[in-house]
Amino acid sequence: MPSGWTGRVDPETKGDSRRWHQVIQPLGVHDAPGTAILGFVCDEGVRRNGGRVGAAMGPSALRKMMSNLPVLDAAPLYDSGDVHCLDGDLEGAQARFSSCVCRLLDAGHLVVGLGGGHEIAYASYLGLTQHLRQSRPRVAIVNLDAHFDLREQELASSGTSFLQALRHASTIGLPLDYICIGVSASANTQSLFSAAQAYGVHYYRDDQLSLVELSKRVEELLSWLANVDVIYLTVCLDVLPAATAPGVSAPSARGVSQEALELLLDAIVITGKVRLLDVAELSPPNDRNDETARVAARLIHRITSGIRKVGHWEV
């Protein structure tokens, strides 16, 4: 068993009572395709963006909470280790993480990135583009987040990832759509809304995602994704209300309810186009009673289980 995975062992009963910590294995070079966990031990981007640091401890806390998740299928589950940001070298860490993501995707794995700050997003995106290489499918980044993260800054940070991705895609001729779900009007300046308009970003504000309106939003979202070939799904935990997710770098004043968020995630997963997932901004020093980590583990479990039910995920 890889380091950090430990948990409950249920007594023998009829049926499968195994949990993730009982089946996860270190990833080998020639292992069969499965779900591969990859940590990004970094909050340099959060520091540069003026947020509450602590996200570097996120991968360890997430592994602890995922340990007791029940096994729902026979697909292999692997721990691919961590990429560390050393001496503030965010760009170097992103390059190493993207290379790991590319290798995992090349081997046919479903990659689950564990942040770390949301600077993980640009690294995940780069890994996906490296994997796609000469092919040019239409890619959508679907970001569940209170923030656009389209900041124009001298140094890259947790707030610049999607501007970097859009610009990079333009330079290599990759068709890229950016969809941001859960945007807070009180946490994004007018310049960020203007940038979203300039880049043709599809988005929903958090106050547009009540359960009453959700069926209409899901229908619109699916129409946005209809002509997309590949989805990179990224969840910034500050999209949730602060009462649900207190342990994040920038707690949300409103957020999207967990019930609505899960239904939105289900709709994205059912397209069968998700190839890469990450969860960002868990800040364990600010997480009372591990509440945010528990929610994050549940979301990862729901998404990965849903992807397995949909079927084949290789690009």
Residue 218 is part of a domain; what is its CATH number?
A: 3.40.800.10
Structurally, the chain folds into a number of domains equal to: 1
Residues 217, 183: Cα–Cα separation, whole Å: 14
239 in a domain, yes or no?
Answer: yes
Amino acid 249: pLDDT? 93
Q: Which domain holds residue 41?
A: 20-310
The tally of CA atoms less than 13 A away on the side-chain side of residue 88 is: 4
* pLDDT for residue 297: 98
234 domain-assigned? yes
Give whole-number Cα distances, 220 to 202, 209, 214, 226, 303, in Å: 10, 12, 10, 10, 20
Q: How many CB atoms lie within 10 A of CB 60?
A: 17
Q: Which residues pair with 35 in a beta bridge?
A: 77, 110
Residue 104 and residue 80 in contact, taking contact as beta carbons nearer than 8 Å: yes
Q: According to the model, what pLDDT value does residue 237 have? A: 98
pLDDT of residue 66: 98
No. of helices (H) and no. of strands (E), the chain: 10, 9
Partners of 143 in the β-ladder: 180, 234
Q: Is residue 64 in some structural domain? A: yes
Residue 10 lies in a domain: no
2 assigned to some structural domain: no
Question: CA 73 to CA 70: how far, in whole Å?
Answer: 9
In a domain, 113, yes or no: yes
The position carrying tokens 């957020």 is 255
* Any domain includes 14: no
* pLDDT at residue 3 in the model: 80
Residue 308's Cβ-count burial label (10 Å; 0-12, 13-18, 19+) is: middle
Domain presence at residue 4? no
Q: What is the pLDDT of residue 74?
A: 85
Please give the radius of gyration of the chain, using alpha carbons only, rounded to the nearest integer. 18
> In tens digits, what is the pLDDT along the chain, a chain of 315 residues?
678 899 899 887 777 889 999 999 999 877 899 999 999 999 999 999 999 999 999 999 999 999 999 999 888 999 999 999 999 999 999 999 999 999 999 999 999 999 999 999 999 999 999 999 888 899 999 999 999 999 999 999 999 999 999 999 999 999 999 999 999 999 999 999 999 999 999 999 999 999 999 999 999 999 999 999 999 999 999 999 999 999 999 999 999 999 999 999 999 999 999 999 999 999 999 999 999 999 999 999 999 999 988 865 443
CB atoms within 10 A of CB 275: 22
